[in-house]
Amino acid sequence: MSKVVETFMKKSVIDKLMKDDRVQIIGNVIAVIENVKTGHKRIVHGVNIITDKGDKFYAQMACAETPDDDFDGASSGLRMGSDNTTPVKANNDVGTFLAGTAHALDGGYEKTDDDDPDNTGKGIDIITWRYSYLTSEGNADAIIEGAIVDDKVTPTGALCHFLFAAAFDKTASDTLKVFVNHTFNGV
């Protein structure tokens, strides 16, 4: 790339940032499925959308207000499903819930700069939500979607809704960790 083009691109980016003081929240998802008998790990990546209620949750938390929807409370958690319809901002749950996949947030999470080596999407400006399933939990076929919801049983709001790049099965021979990473970027 020529110095002129490189300088122009940098100036354009700087100008855009100077004119636009919004913060964008983007996310990635990582599923780590480990067979406890063989130790083999499968990694399935995904992308997620922060919902309208998720945007409001983060704004209220940043202002030390009580959120309208509680995504890190005792009844909240992760639900996974089998519908591969593209998530939208208005979603409040997965499209097709898979029985037995609802799970509570791991202790010590959510947090920034995650110290779990399996989380390749972590960072200092990234909030990580982690859900860890034992071999006896969350066993289902064709998992392709997930949502962090306000209530694991009867959700009325979702923080985010995501799709994995490919469907996967979780069996009684597997543990599963799902990392949902939300990056805060100035745009």
What is the pLDDT, as a whole number, of residue 9? 34
* Radius of gyration of the chain from its Cα atoms, rounded to whole angstroms: 18
Which pLDDT score, from 0 to 100, does residue 185 have? 74
Residue 17 lies in a domain: no
Residue 13 domain-assigned? no
* Preceding amide of 110 cis, omega within 30: yes
- Confidence at residue 47, expressed as pLDDT on a 0 to 100 scale: 87
Stretches in the chain below the pLDDT threshold 70: 1-26, 186-187
**Considering its fold, how many domains does the chain have in total?**
1
11 inside domain = no
Residue 6 counted as domain residue:
no
Chain center to CA of 85: 16
Is residue 130 situated within a structural domain?
yes
Q: Cβ(78)–Cβ(92) under 8 Å? A: no
Q: What pLDDT is recorded for position 114? A: 96
Q: What does the pLDDT read at residue 24?
A: 59
**Residues whose CB falls within 8 Å of the CB of residue 102, separated by 6 or more in sequence, listed in order:** 77, 78, 79, 152, 153
In a domain, 37, yes or no: yes
Cβ atoms of 82 and 96 closer than 8 Å = yes
> Which residues constitute the domain of residue 121?
22-186
